[in-house]
Structure 1
Amino acid sequence: LTDSNCAKNRKSLNLLPPKVKRNTVIIEYENELNPGENITNKKLKWIPKDWKIILNNIKEMRKDLNAPVDTMGCHMCHDRTADAKVQRYQTLVSLMLSSQTKDQVTHAAMLRLRNHGLTVDNILKTDENLLGKLIYPVGFWKRKVAFIKKTTEILKTNYQEDIPSSVEELCKLPGVGPKMAHLAMDIGWGEVSGIGVDTHVHRIANRLGWVPKETKTPEATRKALQDWLPQSQWSEVNRLMVGFGQTVCKPVTPQCEKCLNKKLCPTAAKNIGKIE
């Protein structure tokens, strides 16, 4: 299941955030001037107002680690006692299963797969009907059976049973999109190549006005966020915002009244005004 298909499904379910007024923004220089450099050579970039305060507030609200992603996210689905290659393979499979699927369902499916034997060789030997029973009821499970089988064959043939070590190569695998690729690079290889943007990150970024204009897809949101958010925050921001989206900034009836950012978020101001 590709990220583009996921975006279409979200649109059909009417989960895209409502249009909100963009926060007042500030313009900062992208790089400090070198001594003697002409000021006209500075490159300007868009940065949302109060983003550091907002981000710190989200971190404060997430400090208890009480969201499903904290214990059942894809970073928690692999066997930490297994060989490094096997751990990376299991991480990739969990990411493939996670699309359009709650963390609880993905985690349960991963436990069944691991009990069955989640290695490249064993999955290649596994009948598609049995594989389907093992991963059901993840979203679009029939398509994911085919994707997992095809991807596993490619890993066996071309990558010595390991996963690719670049976003470009990962995205060539059946059923793997940019979000999965960036998270696989982070979790599997310890390399921060980009922000993993799912429905939660996409929704919250638009609600907060963290994009210069409304974005329609997670991939567009990723590019917009990476244009201004310091790279030091990229690895943490996915899990941070996913958990925030699961517990506070929910798709339907977000709990704006309890949010520490209710006076800074344009969507919260609108929602609380409706309640009052």
Structure 2
Amino acid sequence: MAKNVKKLTLANKLAKRGDIIKPTEIIIRQNRADNVRDIEDLVGVSSRAAGSINSVYFSPVQTRKQRLLNGESIRKTTMKVEPLSPARVVPKKNKKDDQMVTRVQMGSATVVKCKELPDAVDSPVTVNNVKMEVKPQRKQEENTQEAQRDSDSYSEVQAPHPLWINHLENIRIMRNSRSAPVDTMGCHRCADLKADPKTQRFQNLVALMLSSQTKDQTTYEAMNRLKDRSLTPLKVKEMPVTELENLLHPVSFYKNKAKYLKLTVEILIDKYDSDIPNNVKELVALPGVGPKMAHICMAVAWNKITGIGVDVHVHRLSNRLGWVPKPTKEPEQTRVALEKWLPFSLWSEVNHLFVGFGQTICTPVKPNCVECLNKDICPSAHFKIKK
């Protein structure tokens, strides 16, 4: 045979004879020898009617001749019910083939089918991400609107510093983003919530008396030791002074405060039926109770706003921010100056804001002006930079 003459393959033979293979039915292959066919059997199917129920269209891996040469008998094959399709799937061998794409050969055309993905809107991950992105934006818009309302309502306030409302709003933002010891261990957190209201008010007063020039952590621990011994006016009265001093240590001036507590409980038992006074004048008259303690006690124990509680933090920040017409030397002077111009609606808020801000950022020594949002509008920060 000449070299240039190609040997006709089985597919070419079928094509010359005009036979078209159109599988249109479901073939059930059972364990029957007469149903087993080899590739050679396909040559004879052209004489049968196309689509006949006796037509069999499949190709074993090996031809009949190959199996006979290997000494194998005709094997019985069991095949599950399969639907046959006229389409022929031709996988494209491409090393960089995308796993998300399937290519189907339909005659001379190639159809590309992409895998279906869950809708991005219905995806919980995407929805959560969208929510997480929208919520801070909404919160920022709400804060901006609230600041605008405050600015409009306080526009007529004659404050020592023209940007005082900006100072206040920035401190609110910083306090919301960072917790301070006063938030969890302040005097308003020291009372036993399971005790009766009268006992809770007494414990609020005791915590305020111990807090003078003492860190909140130290006050909180001392209050826990006292509550373990059942902190009531009667228990403190019956307790020896040396034992009381040991429970208060290491609170600042713990010996003086132990003495003040012993005198105070005597007055409360005799004059107020083991309760505390419900006005500033009588609270200040108690041993060891100053104006700052009295105003805070009225707010915490009696839920009444009678004045601004000015401690060392409020005193320091008010002078640094220029919230007083002229520098003040004592917290009481700062309180009087603030109450002359600060709107009454802010009196209950300013103490908690300033104390936490003074504990975390605007500290007494080496304030962290770099992280402060008021660094560009704070008189003390500008003065510090110029130096």
TM-score normalized by the length of structure 1: 0.82
Shift of 1:66: 1.1
SS at match of 2:341: coil
Shift of 1:126: 0.6
Partners of 1:206 and 1:214 within 8 A in 2: yes
The residue correspondences of 1:96-245 to structure 2 (distance < 5 A) are 96-245=209-358
Partners of 1:28 and 1:47 within 8 A in 2: no
Shift of 1:46: 4.5
Shift of 1:236: 1.2
SS at match of 1:62: helix
Shift of 1:146: 0.4
Question: Structure 2: how far apart are the matches of 1:58 and 1:154?
Answer: 40
Question: Structure 1: how far apart are the matches of 2:159 and 2:167?
Answer: 16
Q: Choose 1 or 2 for highest CA Rg.
A: 2
Shift of 1:29: 5.7
In structure 2, relative to structure 1, the CA distance for the partners of 1:120 and 1:199 (3 Å cut) is same
Deviation per residue, 1:105-137 (Å, 9 max, x gap): 000000000001100111111110110011100
Shift of 1:271: 1.9
Q: Which residue of 1 aligns with 2:163?
A: 50
SS at match of 1:48: coil
Q: Which residue of 2 aligns with 1:271?
A: 384
What is the identity, as a one-letter code, of the residue corresponding to 1:255? N
Question: Structure 2: how far apart are the matches of 1:126 and 1:132?
Answer: 10
RMSD: 1.4
- Quick one: which of 56, 60, 66 aligns to 2:173? 60
Question: Is the counterpart of residue 90 in structure 1 residue 203 in structure 2?
Answer: yes
Q: Which residue of 2 aligns with 1:38?
A: none
Question: Structure 2: how far apart are the matches of 1:203 and 1:115?
Answer: 35
What is the identity, as a one-letter code, of the residue corresponding to 1:180? M
What is the identity, as a one-letter code, of the residue corresponding to 1:149? K
Question: Structure 1: how far apart are the matches of 2:177 and 2:192?
Answer: 24
Q: Which residue of 1 aligns with 2:125?
A: none
Q: Which residue of 2 aligns with 1:257?
A: 370
In structure 2, relative to structure 1, the CA distance for the partners of 1:62 and 1:115 (3 Å cut) is same
Higher RCO structure (Cα 8 Å, ≥6 apart):
1
What is the identity, as a one-letter code, of the residue corresponding to 2:331? P
Question: Which consecutive segments of 4 or more residues in structure 1 shift more than 4 A?
Answer: 27-30
TM-score normalized by the length of structure 2: 0.59
Question: Structure 1: how far apart are the matches of 2:238 and 2:156?
Answer: 55
